[in-house]
Structure 1
Amino acid sequence: MSPDDIEKLRKALAAEHAALFAYGLLGARTSGSLRARMSAAFDAHRARRDQLRAFITARGGRPAEPDASYALPFFPADQSLAVKLAVQLESGVTAAYLELAAAQDVTLRRYAALAMQEAVTRSYAFRPAQPAAFPGMPAAAAPPPAPSPSATSSGG
């Protein structure tokens, strides 16, 4: 096992630790269906954390323990800020797994790709709007207007 791969695993694990801390806070500050989505995200990140710890240990590394606290970019004082923070969290987790996707071990590359897909999916599930078009692609066109009754009758 490449020492570089173990370091990439540790970075992904650190991102999962931070996400768990923040989702614990977000779950406590939200309610209803949003809280259920935050709790589901917490559970998904906990499972990923446990898998990463197992990967590191199986490869002879020592997984880092979580910090007692993490600095958040802002305090989620309301539901909209909670959603904004969740989206930022998922972006950070995606970035950590992007680095792991460059691992030498093909198993880790596949694992990272799936983890990134899940994080991006969660991120977009929290956003109220539809995702933007890919760069260079035209935005979805509005449907053409319905023909007016006078335009469809030929008088004939």
Structure 2
Amino acid sequence: MTTTTQSHPELPALQAALAAEHAAVYGYGVVGGRIGPTRRPEAQGAYDAHRARRDALRRTVRDLGGTPQAAAAAYELPFPVPDAAAAIRLAAELEDRVAAVYADLVRAAGGTRRTEAAAALREAAVRAVRWRGSGVAFPGLVERAAAPAPPGGAGTDSDAL
């Protein structure tokens, strides 16, 4: 990065959101290859939405003087995805993980970026409900309650979905 977190305290959370969007785009490539034809348009819409968010985050990081987080060549899936049922579970998992990162960005950001992060969190939560068929009380915070925080900060391994 070419700037410090002191000059742009939102930058680490923006970079984490960008990394999550890279992973979601990759993950939806897997979902699209395994999902049934009736839900394929839904997967395509989610893929497109994550690509748009990824591109917007790249621009924001650049505008703040940072170097945007690059996508990994591949990502480790959280479980095997051999069929449509597993693809649906993966799509819900992707949305949960993206929601969690946007919850962090809502905490870190202010003004317009906070509003955009809240909108992204809401969109991910809605997509997760559609995939899963049920919701959670606090989207983006579920896994925080179930798992201890990773050492060294709020980020996650960028090569794992």
Tell me the TM-score range normalised by the shorter chain: 0.7 to 0.9
Listed one character per residue, the Cα deviations across residues 92-144 of structure 1 (whole Å, up to 9, x for unaligned) are 0000001100124311111110000000000111123x447x59xxxxxxxxx
Q: Is the 8 A contact 1:76 1:85 kept in 2?
A: yes
Matched to 1:79, the amino acid is A
Q: How does 1:57-68 map to 2 (within 5 A)?
A: 57-68=62-73
Name stretches of at least 5 consecutive residues in structure 2 with no aligned partner.
Answer: 1-5, 139-161
Q: How does 1:5-154 map to 2 (within 5 A)?
A: 5-128=10-133, 130-131=134-135
Point out the more displaced range, 101-110 or 62-71: 101-110
Give, in angstroms, the shift of residue 2 of structure 1. Answer: 4.1
Which runs of structure 1 show a deviation greater than 3 angstroms over 4 or more consecutive aligned residues? none
* Same amino acid, percent of matched pairs: 41
Name stretches of at least 5 consecutive residues in structure 1 with no aligned partner.
Answer: 136-156
TM-score normalized with structure 1 length: 0.79
Matched length: 133
RMSD over equivalenced CA pairs, Å:
1.7
Matched to 2:44, the amino acid is S
TM-score normalized with structure 2 length: 0.77
C-alpha distance in 2 between matches for 1:7 and 1:47: 20
Q: Is the 8 A contact 2:98 2:121 kept in 1?
A: yes
SS at match of 2:107: coil
Matched to 1:127, the amino acid is R
Structure with bigger RCO (C-alpha 8 Å, 6+ apart) = 2
SS at match of 2:108: coil
C-alpha distance in 1 between matches for 2:135 and 2:36: 25
1:3 corresponding residue in structure 2: 8
Q: Is the 8 A contact 1:2 1:104 kept in 2?
A: no
